A and B are shown apart, each in its own frame.
Chain A
Amino acid sequence: MTTTDTRPAEPAGIGAVRRPRRLRVLGLAALVLVVLGLMCVSVAVGTRDVGRDAIVAALGGSVEGFDEAAVAKRVPRTLLAVLAGAALGVAGAVMQGVTRNPIADPGILGVNMGASLAVVVGMASFGLASATHFVWAAVVGGGITAVFVYIIGSLGRGGATPLKLALAGTAVSAALSSFISAIVLPRNDIAGGVRSWQIGGVGGATYDSLTQILPFLVVGFALCLACARGLDMLALGDDLAAGLGERVALARGGASLGAVTLCGAATAVTGPIAFVGLVVPHVCRLLTGPGHRWLIPFSALGGAALLTAADVVGRIVARPAQIDVGIVTALIGAPFFIHIVRRQKVRSL
Chain B
Amino acid sequence: MNPSLSTAPSTATLRAVTRGRVRRTRRRRTVIVALAVLIVVVFALTLMVGRTFYPPGDVLRVVLGHDVPGASFTVGRLRLPRAALAVAAGLCFGLAGSTFQTMLRNPLASPDIIGISSGASAAATFAIVVLGLSGPTVSVVAIVSGLAISTLVYALAYKGGVAGTRLILIGIGVAAMLDSVTSYVLDRAPEWDLQEALRWLTGSLNGTDWNRVVPVVIALALIAPVLLSRANDLSLFQLGDDTASALGVRANLTRLIAVTAAVALIAFATAAAGPIAFVAFLCGPIAARLVGPDGSLLLPSALVGALLVLVADLVGQFLLGTRYPVGVVTGVLGAPYLVYLIVRTHRAGGSL
Which A residues fall within an 8 A CB radius of B?
Answer: 1-2, 103, 107, 152-153, 155-157, 162-164, 166-168, 170-172, 174-179, 181-182, 184-186, 191, 195, 199, 274-275, 318, 321, 323-324, 326-327, 330-331, 334-335, 337-338, 341-342, 346
Contacts and interface: CB of A to CB of B under 8 A. Distances in A.
Given A174-B335, A199-B187, A330-B177, A163 B165 contact: yes
B168 interface: yes
Given A2-B163, A171-B335, A175-B332, 15 more contacts: A1-B163, A153-B346, A167-B342, A172-B339, A175-B331, A175-B335, A185-B325, A186-B324, A326-B180, A327-B184, A327-B187, A337-B176, A341-B170, A342-B159, A342-B170
A331 B182 CA distance: 12
A274 B184 contact: no
Contact of A331 (B108, B113, B180): B180
Given A152-B343, A152-B346, A185-B322, A174 B331 contact: yes
A199 B183 contact: yes
A334 B173 contact: yes
Contact of B166 (A107, A164, A191, A342): A342
A315 to B, nearest CB: 14
10 contacts: A103-B169, A152-B343, A157-B349, A162-B169, A164-B342, A166-B172, A178-B331, A181-B198, A331-B177, A342-B166
Interface of B: 108, 113, 156-157, 159, 163, 165-166, 168-170, 172-174, 176-177, 179-181, 183-184, 187-188, 194-195, 198, 201-202, 277-278, 321-322, 324-325, 327-328, 331-332, 334-336, 338-339, 342-343, 345-349, 351-352
Contacts of B174: 334, 338
A155 B346 contact: yes
Contacts of B176: 107, 274-275, 330, 334, 337
Main secondary structure on B side of the interface with A:
helix
Nearest to A343: B159
Q: What are the 3 tightest A-B residue pairs by CB atom distance, in nearest-first order?
A: A178-B331, A175-B335, A186-B322
Contacts of B183: 199, 324, 327
A152 B336 CA distance: 12
B331 A324 contact: no
A174 B338 contact: yes
A163 B324 contact: no
Nearest to A186: B322
A321 to B, nearest CB: 6
B180 A330 contact: yes
